[in-house]
Structure 1
Amino acid sequence: MKNFKRLSFIFALAIIAFASCVDSNGKPENPIIIDGDGILVNTNITRNTIWETGKTYVLDRRITVTAGNTLTIQPGVIVKGAAGSGSDASALVIARGAKIDARGTSTSPIIFTSVADEIVAGEIASPNLNPELSGLWGGVIVLGKAKVSLAGDFIESQIEGIPPSDTNGLYGGIDDADNSGILTYVSIRHGGANIGEGNEINGLTLGAVGSGTVIQNVEIIGNQDDGIEWFGGSVNVSNVIIWNPGDDGLDTDQAWSGTLDNFIVIAGNETDHALEIDGPEGFYSASHTLINGTIKANQTAGLGDFRDGAKGSFENIYFFNLSEPSENEGVGDFTLSGNKTLATFADGELKFANLQVTLNEDVELSQVFKNGTDAYAKIVADGENTVGANKDAFASTWSWAISGL
């Protein structure tokens, strides 16, 4: 029945066809949007709008929910982004002063994916795309009015991924209680389209998002850039799982001041670091907390890189599946980079507690946890960790990524 449903959806409704099938990397080229129950979205959202359960919405380009308006996405909705790069990359942007109300459920998550994905309502795993496939569309960008730490002490800036000519890309302000809406039980997949040399869109970008916003039960799968990147803001986030990020799993910048509680990062073959933590760029300074996390490493990724005067508290995190320490800088390491970061660590502005790791017998703790961070880490046998994420939050009824842990 499920196969018949999928074939009927693709054949009878004909949401997409491909002008030239796939390129040499197996990525779709030049999708042509055709009529059907897949609803084409090709203009900005300038009034309160509802995307309804049981329907698929196709982002033809970068689509912005403009200030003063709310986009409500009901449980089970599938949103598919068209292929494209540069200024043509598809993405969903929630501008400053706008809101998203995306409330999936544990049995009916909201899924953002590529037009190449044959997934239909009621499915969790893609029937045709590998979880490592990335860069097929852009991602989700949420912008707010909370504080950020910017060079030159400006209070606002243009978010990466949006051309400067589009003022809907501005983020930052002075309202730390700002409310950009709700994201819960949401899966974002196969994103990270290239918008410029060495510049891709994150799976979920949070620019100056305030503490009035609710973000929980979110997974990012196969994104070409970071899984989630925070640019300042004060939003608290919980129950996050990142699978196969192409750059960093979790990336924090510009003095984000919130808390991430209960998270999993599953490194892929192209992952740079599970954690990349940067310090403030301007006069405004704040720190954040990451607590109760599990990180599954691999043969190529670094565990964590704390840079540019990083500040914050990192507690109750378990690391496993590590490779031997590598001569390649950063691979398999938990490091503090630069004198500014060594200083914040020394004066207690950068804190670690209850770090646990499973290592091969011939590897010493200080070979992995460098710059004195080994004092806060403990070796445990496989499966004997007493810290880490609560995996029950990522039940397979809504999360595809949990199958990679």
Structure 2
Amino acid sequence: MKLKFLAMAAFASIFFASCSDDDSTDSGTPIVPVEGTISGTYTSNQTFAYGNYSLEGVVKVNPGVTLTFDAGSTITADATTGDNALVVLKGGKLIINGTADAPVVFTEASKIPGSWAGIIMYGDAPINALGGVSTALSEDGNSITYGGSDASHSSGALHYVRVEYAGAKLGDGTKENNAFTFYAVGSGTVLDHLVAYKGADDGYEFFGGTVSATDLVAYGNYDDSFDWQDGWQGQNNSNWYAYQTGKGNFGMEIEASNNNNSYGPKVNNITLKKAAGTVTESDADVQVDAFQFKKEGNGTYNNIIIDGYGNYTVGATTYQGAAVKIQDANTNTNQVNSGKLKLTNVKVTNTTQMSPVGATPAIIVNFPAENWTTTSGATGATITGGAWTTVNGTNLLQ
């Protein structure tokens, strides 16, 4: 681990204890931001004061170590230096103390989606991976075994954090990484007021675990806004907002790794919007639905707005966007028909297939009446914006 501060940093630290939210001391003296480099593996606790930092390489937080960031900091990676990521290993903690007016922003110098690997966190909570196994190997390029036994485990707390231009592969990773990736993260972890901005893969992906998240914004991510597998079962999620523009696949891709189950997650207050003219990530694998359920994915979802999931044409083929699509027969039989999948108080506009449908004519989808309900009064996500949801003068919530 190395940490390089400019001489100005020591002087600036004198003021931190008495800072106000307007980045000045009580006497009106401006706070001078620290400048430094974040790199290597952290083996002891470290707090990064308000400042501007360069993130170099795959930075790791060891078990038993806590990394803390103060409000208002900006951390910039640079793809020209190679792989870059912030990885919290199982037993390590990441504490980010952003605020609505002074979020902590992780970005990349080129501002090109897919230029670094984002924030990756490992916890010790249970998973249920393919084949019903309780451990699996991560697909993020770190090749770490994840899956534990402590459902209430804490990997830290992320408050008012924005991750921009993520989605890069690490090393020989089999897939791109997301803005935020959570492997077996437990319910003791706090996730609130997060923004995934213009990543080349998903905005958020959960690989099992029990963590919940509130006030999430996904904007302009190339793949899905929200995605999970391996038996993620967060129960206290609310206010999820997605706006797909430029390029984007599903609003939410939901699966349970082919394990029939009864522990699906719960999410209240959801808004999924797709801008006109948005293309899919690949015309060879067209994905245009708001919700896609597959591989035994289930859960309870309430107060939902779906808008803009219309037709998409490739050559002579037109794909009809759906509010909800059930991808396979097992999910339809075991989750829809048995009542373990519920979407209530849904408002659908500008979407071709407004009721749940199957991916093929052979999959006839008939939700129990109380498990699929629509209303014109749905409000979706109700999020208070501010500096944390503003990028280059654009309010992401508008």
Normalising to structure 2: TM-score of the pair? 0.79
Match of 2:113 in 1: 134
**Pair 1:50-2:47 in alignment:** yes
Match of 2:301 in 1: 314
Question: Which structure 2 residues correspond to residues 158-169 of structure 1 after superposition, within 5 A?
Answer: 158-164=137-143, 169=144
Change (3 A) 1:342 1:203: same
Match of 1:66 in 2: 62
Shift of 1:324: 4.2
Normalising to structure 1: TM-score of the pair? 0.77
Question: Which structure 2 residues correspond to residues 206-245 of structure 1 after superposition, within 5 A?
Answer: 206-245=182-221
**Pair 1:115-2:109 in alignment:** yes
Over aligned residue pairs, what C-alpha RMSD do you find? 2.8
Conserved? CA contact 1:161–1:201, under 8 Å: yes
Conserved? CA contact 1:357–1:377, under 8 Å: no
Match of 2:230 in 1: 254
Match of 1:5 in 2: none
Aligned residue identity for 1:359: N
Aligned equivalent of 1:148, options 116, 127, 152: 127
1:2-43 deviation per Cα after TM superposition (whole angstroms, max 9, x unaligned): xxxxxxxxxxx9xxxxxxxxxxxxxxxxxxxxxx96422231
Aligned residue identity for 2:133: F
The 3-state SS of whatever aligns with 2:296 is: coil
Shift of 1:171: 2.1
**In the aligned structure 2, how far is the partner of 1:356 from the partner of 1:369?**
19
Shift of 1:252: 1.2
The 3-state SS of whatever aligns with 1:355 is: strand
Question: Which structure 2 residues correspond to residues 5-44 of structure 1 after superposition, within 5 A?
Answer: 38-44=35-41
Shift of 1:318: 0.4
**Pair 1:75-2:52 in alignment:** no
**In the aligned structure 1, how far is the partner of 2:292 from the partner of 2:219?**
19
**Pair 1:388-2:380 in alignment:** yes
Unaligned runs of 5+ in 1: 1-12, 14-35, 117-128
Change (3 A) 1:152 1:336: closer
Shift of 1:315: 1.3
Match of 2:282 in 1: none
Shift of 1:379: 6.7
**In the aligned structure 2, how far is the partner of 1:223 from the partner of 1:374?**
37
**In the aligned structure 2, how far is the partner of 1:374 from the partner of 1:190?**
41
Conserved? CA contact 1:366–1:374, under 8 Å: no
Match of 1:172 in 2: 147
**In the aligned structure 2, how far is the partner of 1:309 from the partner of 1:315?**
19
Shift of 1:387: 2.7
Change (3 A) 1:359 1:379: farther
Aligned residue identity for 1:45: Y
**In the aligned structure 2, how far is the partner of 1:99 from the partner of 1:352?**
34
Unaligned runs of 5+ in 2: 1-8, 10-32, 280-287, 360-364
The 3-state SS of whatever aligns with 2:41 is: coil
Match of 1:123 in 2: none
The 3-state SS of whatever aligns with 2:251 is: strand
Conserved? CA contact 2:269–2:303, under 8 Å: yes
1:117-158 deviation per Cα after TM superposition (whole angstroms, max 9, x unaligned): xxxxxxxxxxxx5xxx40121100011000001234432223
Shift of 1:274: 0.6
**In the aligned structure 2, how far is the partner of 1:278 from the partner of 1:216?**
23
**In the aligned structure 1, how far is the partner of 2:193 from the partner of 2:118?**
17
**In the aligned structure 2, how far is the partner of 1:56 from the partner of 1:143?**
26
**In the aligned structure 2, how far is the partner of 1:96 from the partner of 1:317?**
34
Aligned equivalent of 1:365, options 339, 345, 354: 354
**In the aligned structure 1, how far is the partner of 2:258 from the partner of 2:356?**
30
Conserved? CA contact 1:288–1:311, under 8 Å: yes
Match of 1:304 in 2: 291
Change (3 A) 1:364 1:71: closer
Number of matched pairs: 342
**In the aligned structure 1, how far is the partner of 2:248 from the partner of 2:215?**
21
Runs of 4+ in 1 over 6 A off after TM superposition: 367-370
**In the aligned structure 2, how far is the partner of 1:328 from the partner of 1:143?**
41
